[in-house]
């Protein structure tokens, strides 16, 4: 016989009343906690929260209330922390790959095609990846630390209490700044990489200067550079969204902010390489199909 429930007894809502009908309130609470602690459920919930956050950012991005002054400030800040690291990383990164490609060309007696190989490597892949690795490693982590420190000091909650939308006021300018700085750095890294490739190919590996310059457009055209800039924009956008989301959801004091910063680097790099694979595949399919 089931025990009758009194009119004043609390009835806890649950996802399935049929399954919870014979459970005590304590058992129900334990079941809810076990479900909430499940890693798969947490991951799905985090993806859902991130998707909702991204939709809100895009909804606020195209309004007349865009914080232009905050955007200029954040863009300048990201440039100051990313410019020289991008230059210093691009030189050895580009040179090592171009050097290896040229070694192969020397073996087959085609060192004069060094310009074509350098252009393919730098424009299609190295430029956008290097530029946004720096943006994610320097700029995005700084954004996450800034928003995370505001979060643990209750500044974000104070803004909400005052009727100020943190996404509109803080997130959108930072995401747009990260996107545009990624595009700008991609152009700079591309130029630096091609110049470094010229020095190593011509001075150290015997390529002909005129053929190096003329072959730069042999396999790479305007469409490749546009695709490269599109990659950099998408990478910068993902890095900015990841940094802002994790910064606004930082918990646990200074340690939580540090954890959020570390997670920003990891998740931004994961999204970067996933997006790079998709964009490169789609672009090559379109180009070869045309």
Structure tokens given for 56: 């809100």
Residue 65 has what pLDDT? 79
Please provide the size of the chain in residues. Answer: 290
CA 202 from chain center: how many Å?
Answer: 36
Burial of 128 by CB count in 10 Å (0-12 exposed, 13-18 middle, 19+ buried)?
A: buried
Structure tokens given for 256: 């939580």
Q: What pLDDT digit, counting tens, does each position of 263-289 carry?
A: 888 888 888 888 888 888 888 788 766
CA 90 from chain center: how many Å?
Answer: 18
Residue 4 has what pLDDT? 45
Confidence of residue 16 (pLDDT cuts 50, 70, 90): low
Residue 107 has what pLDDT? 83
Global pTM value: 0.79
User: Are 21 and 27 in contact, with CB atoms under 8 Å apart?
Assistant: no
**Half-sphere CA count of 126, side-chain side, radius 13 A:** 28
Q: What pLDDT digit, counting tens, does each position of 84-119 carry?
A: 888 888 888 887 888 888 888 888 877 878 888 888
**Distance (Å) of CA 11 to CA 1, 8, 87:** 19, 9, 63
């Amino acid at each position: 016989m089931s025990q009758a429930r009194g009119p004043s007894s609390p009835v806890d809502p649950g996802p399935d009343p049929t399954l919870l009908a014979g459970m005590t309130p304590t058992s129900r609470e334990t079941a809810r906690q076990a479900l909430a602690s499940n890693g798969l459920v947490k991951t799905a919930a985090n993806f859902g929260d991130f998707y909702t956050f991204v939709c809100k950012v895009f909804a606020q991005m195209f309004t007349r209330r865009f914080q232009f002054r905050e955007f200029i400030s954040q863009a300048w800040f990201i440039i100051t922390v990313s410019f020289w690291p991008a230059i210093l990383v691009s030189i050895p990164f580009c040179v090592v790959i171009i050097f290896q490609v040229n070694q192969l060309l020397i073996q087959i007696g085609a060192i004069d095609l060094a310009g074509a190989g350098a252009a393919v490597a730098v424009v299609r892949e190295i430029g956008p990846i290097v530029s946004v690795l720096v943006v994610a490693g320097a700029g995005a982590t700084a954004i996450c630390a800034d928003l995370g420190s505001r979060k643990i000091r209750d500044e974000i909650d104070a803004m909400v209490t005052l009727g100020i939308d943190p996404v509109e006021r803080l997130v959108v300018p930072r995401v747009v700044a990260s996107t545009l700085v990624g595009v700008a750095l991609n152009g700079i890294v591309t130029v630096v990489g091609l110049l470094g490739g010229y020095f190593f190919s011509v001075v150290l590996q015997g390529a002909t200067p005129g053929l190096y310059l003329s072959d730069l457009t042999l396999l790479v055209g305007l469409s490749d550079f546009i695709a490269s800039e599109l990659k950099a924009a998408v990478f910068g956008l993902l890095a900015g969204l990841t940094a802002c989301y994790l910064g606004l959801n930082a918990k646990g004091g200074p340690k939580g902010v540090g954890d959020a910063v570390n997670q920003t680097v990891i998740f931004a790099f994961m999204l970067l390489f996933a997006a790079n694979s998709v964009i490169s595949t789609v672009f090559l399919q379109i180009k070869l199909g045309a």
